[in-house]
């Protein structure tokens, strides 16, 4: 673990991952800022945001996961000096991903009319419905942004999306302040103001990334393809790789989203406390997804170079880094469990108490969460996506959610029971996915399929 070879891989992983991590952190902090500022508006709006975001994020995560399929393909083709393949992938992704975003937007909009399926409290439904319809519109720009972002990450150009994400965070905070509380002559819009702020921010972020992509001499020539015909085989390739990845992420996000629905049946204060705990856990999770993306890029690059030894080391070193980081996060969250909830709400002692107890469980599952997400990224780089999807199904939906339901409603643990179930599912997933990577890394055989043009 501390040999010179591993230290070299740690450096390479870090140099590739930290811009992705900062970009991911900025991305999730947009949601954190929404919830913190909405929470200071009133607790009913925070509970409504929790309900809406549990649906929206679950659907959006599938789209983001779907877009991740292009990254290992780009990394492998780029390492193999196949520039024309990179151009084809960009062209097809720029068409396919906004189309997927449109389908997901329609799905979220339809679900906004069925919120009574998820919560029976009228005040929360009345606040959540218009907010969810507003944020559903962000899915098209999000997917177009993801196309260019994942393409750049496949080229190991991770800093440009980072700058855009940081700028988007600052803009979103400013727009939240103006639209939620009615500043500078704008009307006070409450929760809907947060929705319009997020929509505006996402559109401007996408336009900015596309403009910078076009202006950068290192990237703009990828926009011009010598072969202008559409390739149905390439669409199938992106779909076959992207769908399982999206499904993996959907199964995990869906488990947390369904957990919010179960907690909502316990009470409004429990739901608000749950949302705080989810937000904190999402910050550390999305940071490690940056390292997971780096693991995917590096293992895919080594696949393109046909370097089996360094492929294994790249994946294992990334998992070690993810585990070490999450142990640090666990210590921080546990030590700050009574303080962190006050960043969201100041005059809701019950919400603060509930959130504090849930943060103990958030701290407990940090290591498992880090190992499973980075292992999944390493597997994604070698295009092993079907078995990890099955592992996610078993861990979250056959173990985590049923156990959480029993502990919450049958054993009387309340919201904490739901989180114990989630912890159990994450622990199972982390062990199985890491063992899967160790096994597959020892079985990688370079065949003509793994080195030919993706056409």
pLDDT tens, residue by residue, 382-408: 888 889 999 999 999 999 999 999 998
* 3-class SS string, the chain: CCCHHHHHHHHHHHHHHHHHHHHHHHHHHHHHHHHHHHHCCCHHHHHHHHHHHHHHHHHHHHHHHHHCCHHHHHHHHHHCCCHHHHHHHHHHHHHHHHHHHHHHHHHHHHHHHHHHHCCCCHHHHHHHHHHHHHHHCCHHHHHHHHHHHHHHHHCCCCHHHHHHHHHHHHHHHHHHHHHHHCCCCCCCCCHHHHHHHHHHHHHHHHHHHHHHHHHCCCCHHHHCCCCCCCCHHHHHHHHHHHHHHHHHHHHHHHHHHHHHHHHHCCCHHHHHHHHHHHHHHHHHHHHHHHHHHHHHHHHHHHHHHCCHHHHHHHHHHHHHHHHHHHHHHHHHHHHCCCCHHHHCCCCCHHHHHHHHHHHHHHHHCHHHHHHHHHHHHHHHHCCCCHHHHHHHHHHHHHHHHHHHHHHHHHCCCCHHHHHHHHHHHHHHHHHHHHHHHHHHHCCCCCCHHHHCCCC
* Per-domain boundaries in the chain: 4-451
> What does the pLDDT profile of the chain (455 residues) look like in tens digits?
667 788 888 888 888 888 888 877 777 677 777 777 887 777 788 888 878 887 888 888 889 889 988 988 888 888 878 888 888 888 899 899 999 999 999 999 999 888 878 777 788 888 889 999 999 999 999 999 999 999 998 888 888 888 998 899 899 999 999 998 889 888 888 889 989 999 999 999 999 999 998 888 888 877 776 665 677 878 888 988 889 988 988 888 788 878 888 888 888 788 888 888 887 887 788 778 888 988 988 888 888 777 788 888 988 999 999 999 999 999 999 999 889 888 887 777 888 888 899 999 999 989 999 999 999 999 988 888 889 999 999 999 999 999 999 998 888 888 889 999 999 999 999 999 999 998 888 776 554 444 344 44
Q: Read off the tokens for 300.
A: 């895919």
Rounded CA-CA distance 349/162 in Å is 37
What is the per-residue pLDDT across 48-78, written as a single tens digit (0 to 9) for each? 887 888 788 888 888 988 998 898 888 888 8
pTM, two decimals, is 0.79
């Amino acid at each position: 673990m501390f040999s010179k070879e591993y230290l070299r891989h740690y450096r390479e992983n870090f140099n590739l991952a930290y811009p992705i991590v900062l970009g991911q952190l900025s991305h999730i902090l947009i949601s954190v800022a929404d919830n913190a500022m909405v929470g200071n508006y009133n607790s009913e709006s925070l509970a409504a945001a929790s309900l809406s975001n549990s649906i929206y994020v679950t659907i959006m995560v599938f789209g983001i996961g779907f877009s991740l399929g292009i990254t290992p393909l780009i990394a492998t083709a780029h390492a193999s000096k196949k520039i024309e393949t990179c151009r084809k992938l960009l062209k097809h992704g720029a068409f396919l991903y906004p189309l997927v975003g449109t389908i997901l937007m329609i799905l979220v909009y339809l679900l906004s009319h069925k919120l009574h399926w998820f919560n029976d409290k009228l005040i929360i439904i009345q606040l959540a419905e218009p907010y969810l319809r507003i944020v559903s519109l962000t899915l098209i720009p999000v997917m177009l942004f993801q196309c260019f972002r994942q393409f750049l990450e496949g080229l190991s150009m991770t800093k440009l999306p980072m700058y855009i994400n940081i700028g988007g965070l600052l803009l979103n905070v400013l727009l939240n302040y103006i639209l939620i509380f009615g500043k500078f002559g704008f009307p006070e819009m409450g929760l809907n103001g947060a929705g319009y702020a997020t929509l505006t921010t996402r559109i401007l972020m996408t336009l900015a990334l596309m403009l910078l992509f076009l202006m950068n001499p290192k990237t703009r020539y990828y926009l011009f393809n010598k072969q202008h015909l559409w390739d149905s085989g390439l669409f199938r390739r992106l779909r076959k790789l992207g769908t399982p990845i999206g499904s993996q992420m959907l199964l995990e996000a869906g488990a947390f989203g369904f957990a919010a629905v179960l907690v909502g049946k316990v009470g409004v204060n429990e739901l608000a406390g749950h949302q705080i705990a989810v937000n904190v856990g999402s910050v550390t999770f999305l940071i490690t997804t940056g390292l997971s993306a780096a693991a995917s890029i590096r293992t895919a690059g080594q696949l393109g170079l046909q370097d089996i030894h360094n492929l294994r080391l790249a994946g294992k070193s990334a998992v070690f880094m993810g585990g070490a980081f999450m142990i640090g996060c666990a210590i921080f969250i546990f030590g700050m469990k009574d303080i962190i909830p006050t960043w969201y709400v100041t005059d809701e002692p019950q919400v603060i108490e509930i959130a504090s107890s849930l943060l103990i469980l958030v701290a407990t599952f940090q290591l498992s969460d880090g190992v499973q997400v980075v292992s999944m990224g390493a597997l994604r780089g070698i295009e092993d996506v079907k078995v990890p999807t099955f592992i996610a199904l078993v861990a979250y939906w056959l173990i985590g959610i049923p156990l959480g339901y029993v502990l919450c409603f049958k054993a009387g643990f309340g919201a904490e029971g739901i989180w114990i179930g989630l912890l159990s599912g994450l622990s199972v997933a982390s062990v199985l996915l890491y063992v899967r990577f160790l096994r597959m890394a020892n079985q990688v055989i370079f065949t003509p399929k793994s080195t030919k043009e993706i056409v």
